[in-house]
Amino acid sequence: MAMKMRNKINAPSMLVTAPGGGGKTALIGEMKARNATNENKMIFVTMHQSPNGYSLKDLILSELGLGVGRRARQGHNITPELQYIIRTENICAIVIDEIHDALTLTELQQRINLSLLKNLSGSTYGLSVFAFGVPAAARVLRQDPQLERRYPVVALNGWENGPEFRNFVSSYIHHLPLKNKTNFQDQMLFLKIMNKGQGITDNVVKILQASAMASIIDGTEHINHRHLDNIDDIMASFNYALRGAEMPLEEEQ
Ligand SMILES: Nc1ncnc2c1ncn2[C@@H]1O[C@H](COP(=O)(O)OP(=O)(O)O)[C@@H](O)[C@H]1O
Ligand SMILES: [Mg+2]
């Protein structure tokens, strides 16, 4: 919907936050797949993938096929070129993963990136910006009142032990290559997965995978309490580690 809104002074943008393993990158993958055939194009960049020390601007330029050469670095005005590409290719939005990396650099870099975030969604480029990062990213954005207004923060909450969670877990297990049925009527099973995983998708997925592998090895071929009660040992034997929940501060929710 945000992308369909035309002729706004500032294109609708948002910051999506979740702790590591909360499913941000998976969600972006889904957006990419769904946008593949859309006439309103999105471009995708990941701050994290910048081994060359690229700035946010460099990443965007190279994603658009504009070389990150000396020209751009030396302050050559690339705005018209950028505007041209955005218009002719009908690019409506930019999705930035791991935005916290752009906002936790030196103060100078941080200022440059924050002002770029303003320009991207402002009248110069008119792109909707969908930024994804850990909760700390919201704290940085909030330092600038203009950005705070333009980037509403949407916190992806972790799982709670409800029907949605049970649905996710059972359909995940259903797709695992196990010969026997796991007892989905057993609420304690879900509760144990929930408590151990602290509501983080990545943890839940790893608990299910490790339990499933253990059940193949022990021949039971379904996930049961014996696996969940020994999940620490089982996970350690597969070299899996659980993530700690990095809860957003109250004000950030
Ligand atoms: N909707 C989902 N269905 C299945 N697995 C998921 C889903 N969302 C996340 N995952 C899994 O959880 C793990 C962590 O998710 P990820 O998107 O990398 O988190 P983040 O980017 O927030 O750190 C990945 O292994 C991913 O495969
Ligand atoms: Mg990620």
Q: What is the pLDDT of residue 92?
A: 92
Q: Are 174 and 137 within one domain?
A: no
Residue 22 lies in a domain: yes
**Interatomic CA distance for residues 173 and 182, integer angstroms:** 8
Q: Are 171 and 207 within one domain?
A: yes
Residue 147 lies in a domain: yes
Phi, psi of 167 (to 5 degrees): -65, -45
Q: Are 94 and 171 within one domain?
A: no
Domain membership of residue 181 as a residue range: 163-237
Atom number in ligand 1 closest to CA 18? 22
Distance 97 CA to ligand 2 centre (A): 7
Atom number in ligand 1 closest to CA 28? 17
Q: What is the pLDDT of residue 72?
A: 55
Residue 245 lies in a domain: no
Q: Are 146 and 23 within one domain?
A: yes
For the chain, 253 residues long, give each residue's pLDDT as a single digit of tens.
Answer: 777 776 666 788 999 999 999 999 999 999 999 999 888 899 999 987 665 666 788 888 888 887 766 555 566 677 888 889 999 999 999 999 999 888 777 788 888 888 888 889 888 888 999 999 999 889 888 888 888 888 999 999 889 999 999 999 999 999 999 999 999 999 999 999 999 999 999 999 999 999 999 999 999 999 999 999 999 999 999 999 998 766 544 444 4
**Interatomic CA distance for residues 97 and 91, integer angstroms:** 17
CATH code of 142's domain: 3.40.50.300
Q: How is residue 52 written in tokens?
A: 């060359």
Domain count, the chain: 2
Alpha helices in the chain (DSSP H): 24-35, 56-63, 70-73, 79-88, 100-103, 107-121, 136-141, 145-150, 163-174, 187-197, 201-217, 225-229, 231-237
Residues 6 or more apart in contact with residue 191 via CB below 8 angstroms: 161
Residue 251 lies in a domain: no
Helix axis angle, 107-121 relative to 56-63, nearest 10°? Answer: 40
182 lines ligand 1 (CB under 6 A): no
14 C-beta neighbours (distance < 10 Å), count:
16
Q: Whose CA is nearest to atom 9 of ligand 1?
A: 23
Q: What is the pLDDT of residue 253?
A: 40
pTM here?
0.84
